[in-house]
Amino acid sequence: MEIISKISKGSRMDQVYIPKNRAGFAVGDHVVIRLLEALQEKKPPEKLYFYGVKRLEPVKSGIIHEIMQIIEKSVANYENIFVTGSFLERGFQFNDIDILILSENKINQEIIKENIERKTGIKTHILILNNKELSKGLETDPLYHMILNRCIAKKRFIYKTKQTINYKFLDLHLLKSKTLSDNFDILSGKEKYNLVRNTIAIYLYLKKNKVTIDSVDKEIKKALKVNSQEIKSNVLNKKAFLKKYALIYNKALAMILKGIEHGSKQK
């Protein structure tokens, strides 16, 4: 039995009056008071599209649906919304959630960021691109491949782009990872993993191999003799690790310098 009633204002405490002629509700029973709207039938959550994500905890799924709703209310026109990054990995070891919004219009990402963080309590990183920028990124930057290799999208998507190796562009990207050796002792495990991942992704891209999160993690284990979780947990043998890392970094750098030199000779 369910009884619908109204909260009345009292002198000391607000109260709810219910009829004495009732079944199943005896004096002294404990009951739950809910808003009437909460009892109404809710629409089932919209279907999302999973790419490279085999399993997702129900609580994470709920958070993603909530994020999609927040963005929809804040953005009038968008092409697609992607949730990516460590949030999609198994377990609850993530520190933040990465979101890519594809739109041709200007978007105030700070307002969206504040709304999401206030609603979910999770630190948020938002990247806003238009179709041209995304296509260019997929054509020249291996990290874009990793972003969309494992993601959850609001809408179905298919992107076909040719691979163009811009050696000078990759040289700048690889330079970021040099800080791993210089600042090893002060970097967190996650920061170390991001720098290693950057180097390995560039290396695989230069070899024209497929760049995915799985292929990068597999190459990390093969080349550095550690797995990604060991790097993230910051439990590395510094001397042994940096020796192996220098080898793979220098291989990538040599391939880039050779490409730049070859390009200069052609000009």
Residue 118 CA to chain centroid, in angstroms?
Answer: 18
User: What's the predicted TM-score (pTM) here?
Assistant: 0.73
Boundary of a domain, candidates 129, 153, 177: 153
Do 125 and 58 sit in the same domain of this protein? yes
The rounded distance, in Å, linking the Cα atoms of 2 and 19 is 12
The rounded distance, in Å, linking the Cα atoms of 79 and 98 is 17
The rounded distance, in Å, linking the Cα atoms of 181 and 185 is 9
Domain that holds residue 126: 49-153
Q: Domain total for the chain? A: 2
Dihedral of CA atoms 27, 29, 30, 34 in degrees, nearest 10, equals -70
Amino acid (one-letter) located at 180:
L
Boundary of a domain, candidates 93, 119, 153: 153
pLDDT along the chain (267 residues), means of 10: 75 81 75 66 74 88 92 88 90 85 90 91 92 90 89 88 86 93 92 94 92 92 93 93 96 94 67
Q: State the pLDDT at residue 265.
A: 61
Amino acid (one-letter) located at 119:
K
Length of the chain: 267
Do 133 and 197 sit in the same domain of this protein? no
Q: What is the DSSP letter of 208?
A: T
Do 121 and 70 sit in the same domain of this protein? yes
